[in-house]
A and B are shown apart, each in its own frame.
Chain A
Amino acid sequence: MSGELYACVHAAEFPAQALLRLRTDLQSRPVAVLDGPVSQETICSLNRHAVRRGAALGMTRLEAEGLSGLQLLHRATEIETAAHAVFLECAAKFSPRIEGVSEGIASALALDIAGTELLFGLPEKLSARLRDEMATAGFRVSVAVSANFHVARMKATAAHGITIIPDGEEAQSLEKLPIAALNLTDEYKETFALWGIRTLGELAALPEVELVKRLGAAARDWRALAHGVAQHTFQPIEPEFALKEFYNFETPVEQMESLLFIGARMIDCLVARAAGRALSLASLTVEMELEGGRVHCLAIRPAVPSVDRKFLLKLLQMEIGAHPPQAAVVSLTLTAEAGQSSKVQLGLFAPQTPEPSRLDVTLARLKAIVGEDRVGTPVLEDTHRPGSFRMEGFVVGAKFSALKTERSRMALRRVRPSRPVRVVMHAMKPVAFSDVGTRFEVEAAYGPWKTSGCWWSLDGWDTEEWDILAANNNGEKFGCLLVLDLRRNEWWLEAFYD
């Protein structure tokens, strides 16, 4: 045993796989991906269902449309880039040393798995877990494990499923692979075809010196590859951890259900990736590219980072419901910010408070009913202007001191918006007023209490407040607050005492 051990994971037909991993509804149907200029589109990738229907690489759109039931999609490089990031991240869960070995339209990675037995078990077990992890992320892959880098790479490309190559049997495992596995130029392929050499086993049987004399120094490397003894200097890449998912719709989408169908799958993937690093999703940014080129952005910030996909999906639904896009959606991008999983110290004697994640959904629902700016915590403004406050988001756990009162206080019930009233004055005091056609007699008037401020600006105020005890025609008494706006000389009913 050399001490080296490599696992190569190979995802064939990557353009098709990248598109289908978010479209679970299409995974069991024949799908082909078209690429190229509009008039010269050809099939560049397809799934196995499409192969069974007779589709093949290089078919033109016209030929492909002739096959019944074949779903045609357009190649999307952005989706492939996002999918490749996910592919790389899944592999990074098994080894920190990864090298990219992609060829053509396939995506492949080689993992240095030497010394991982204690963590993941024998190579068979690791391979199975690696394949399952990839399947969870939406990729169908083949895996090959060998002590030789190139053997693992070539075997993963050629074989399906999981292949474990025992140490010392590398050449034997490669002998039936076609000579094309060496990525030769057309000239050398033709030469080998003339010689009747079709497999790596036949190439390995040729004498080295005679071969080098005829084809040059490169032939030594090919022969070493065919023998499974070629050396390789590992060049690891650093996978970038970015929680981002992108999907480009085939046709612009208007219905929310369709958006959520894709959104749910995207959230699933983001949650799985974050959970793989023991992280949660602290925020989600949704970018929708609309028809006409505009971009509609939404942000979701749960009270505590979460990996509960149902909860996040509900928040996404509420947010899109509250702020629907103004045009059909062309593409959808979900970017998440990772956060530490929430840890809450519970206590037997702690007062009951709403569960943060449940409260988030409740607040979103309340906002959908009464309006975005009408749910929250009132905060008094730092001003003497009567009745001034602002609304802030409601957060559980905020602790602030408050005034402790020894005696309960009379409360006001505000009239919003204030109602204009007509007031009858006598001896500089109100004696009666009319509100919405009803006349009230003033039994006692206390005031005036003058307030003014911000005289230097347009929104200044200069008022006289009167505490009024009044009675209507039925003899029902009540207390209210009347305000005289001295700037406009208008009377307003501001509030009732209660």
Chain B
Amino acid sequence: MPSAAALRLEIERTLGHRFPGALTPAPKTIREVAPTGIASVDSLLEGGLPVGAISEVIGPESSGRTSLTLAFLAKRTEAEQVCAWVDAGDAFDPESAAASGVRLKQLLWVRCRSERDVTKAKPWTRLDQALHATDLLLQAGGFAAIVLDLGGMEPEHAMRIPLATWFRFRQAADRTRCSLVVLGKTAYAQSGAEVVLESAPFRPETVGGTVWCGCIFALRRQRQRFTQFSAGGRKPPASTWSAGAAWEPGRSA
């Protein structure tokens, strides 16, 4: 009696000219991901933001980019991992981060100086400082997530970042198993990014029309490497998620 393996080989050889590897499942690479802690976003991303790669969260002001990123950092710091926030525009709000559940003691905050305050010895722009700082942190290793916050920067400035820089960051992130999250108004890393999430303007939630108690944000997955999209010009997958006000009850210490 022929064994199952021999039988499978026989069938595949017979059907080989029409269906190559008919009974052999296609090899699948399991990509490591880290959850954001928001169920609908994790579902959209098939588990979370990738580890050891660049993720871009893009959109205009008030589209939920920062809230989503803080939720991601909250999950990472909850797992006793160390994160960094490279703040090109000095816009990070520690109170919002704490309200989102980020353990501030495990967060390294690098606040880039404005052009007015730079010294003659190192007359670097905010963008230069942010890129240099990100490079150093990626090379140092040990950070589970690094956020490069270019959210307040005009695209015409950030678009000047050479593609080689993004590829270098991708290599370093891969080597140190770090999730590099880039916040911006538009996508900058192009093919260097593994995931690009586009946040859309929001719809506010109110209580009795007098108190602003939350927002509903729309999110669309623009790009995800190693994911096969079916042909036919389907729209990119999208989802919505909501965030409450910092003062809203429903927290536990």
**A-to-B contact residues, CB < 8 Å:** 351-355, 358-359, 362, 365-366, 368-371, 374-380, 386-387, 389, 391, 394-396, 398-416, 444, 446, 467, 469, 476-480, 495-498
Contacts and interface: CB of A to CB of B under 8 A. Distances in A.
A408 B79 CA distance: 17
Interface string B87-123: 0011111111111111111111111110001000010
Contacts of B202: 479
Contact of B103 (A368, A402, A415, A444): A402
Q: Is the interface of A mostly helix, strand, loop or mixed?
A: mixed
Given A351-B79, A469-B204, A376 B109 contact: yes
Which 6 pairs show the lowest CB-CB distances between chains A and B?
Answer: A354-B142, A378-B94, A411-B96, A498-B66, A478-B62, A362-B140
A365 B132 CA distance: 10
Given A370-B129, A380-B95, A416-B90, A410 B142 contact: no
Contacts of A376: 108-109
Interface of B: 37-38, 60-68, 70-71, 74, 77-82, 89-113, 117, 122, 124, 129, 132-133, 136-137, 139-144, 151-152, 177, 201-202, 204, 206, 210-212, 214-215, 241-246, 248, 250-253
B93 A377 contact: no
Contacts of B108: 375-377, 394
Contact of A377 (B66, B96, B104, B144): B104
Contacts of B109: 375-378, 391
Nearest to A386: B95
Contacts of B80: 351, 399
Contacts, number: 227
B173 to A, nearest CB: 13
Contacts of B60: 476, 478
Nearest to B112: A370
B81 A399 contact: no
Given A370-B110, A408-B37, A478-B60, A389 B95 contact: yes
Contact of A498 (B61, B112, B124): B61
27 contacts: A351-B79, A353-B81, A354-B143, A355-B141, A362-B136, A362-B137, A362-B139, A362-B140, A366-B133, A369-B132, A370-B129, A377-B107, A377-B108, A378-B109, A380-B94, A386-B95, A389-B94, A400-B103, A407-B244, A408-B241, A409-B246, A409-B248, A410-B96, A411-B96, A411-B243, A477-B201, A497-B215
Contact of A369 (B98, B102, B122, B210): B122
Given A351-B81, A370-B113, 13 more contacts: A351-B82, A354-B143, A376-B108, A400-B105, A402-B101, A404-B78, A404-B253, A408-B38, A410-B243, A411-B243, A496-B61, A497-B62, A498-B67
Contact of B250 (A351, A386, A406): A406
A365 B129 CA distance: 11
Contacts of A414: 90-93
Nearest to A466: B212
Contact of B101 (A404, A413, A479): A404
Nearest to A398: B105
Given A389-B95, A402-B103, A408-B38, A374 B140 contact: no
A407 B78 contact: no
Interface centre among A362, A480, A495, A498 (most CB of B within 10 A): A498
Contact of B177 (A352, A371, A386, A411): A352
Given A354-B141, A370-B129, A408-B243, A446 B112 contact: no
Nearest to B85: A378
Contacts of B102: 402
B62 A496 contact: yes
Given A406-B251, A409-B67, A371 B37 contact: no
Contacts of B91: 413-416, 496
A366 to B, nearest CB: 6
A341 B60 CA distance: 51
B93 to A, nearest CB: 4
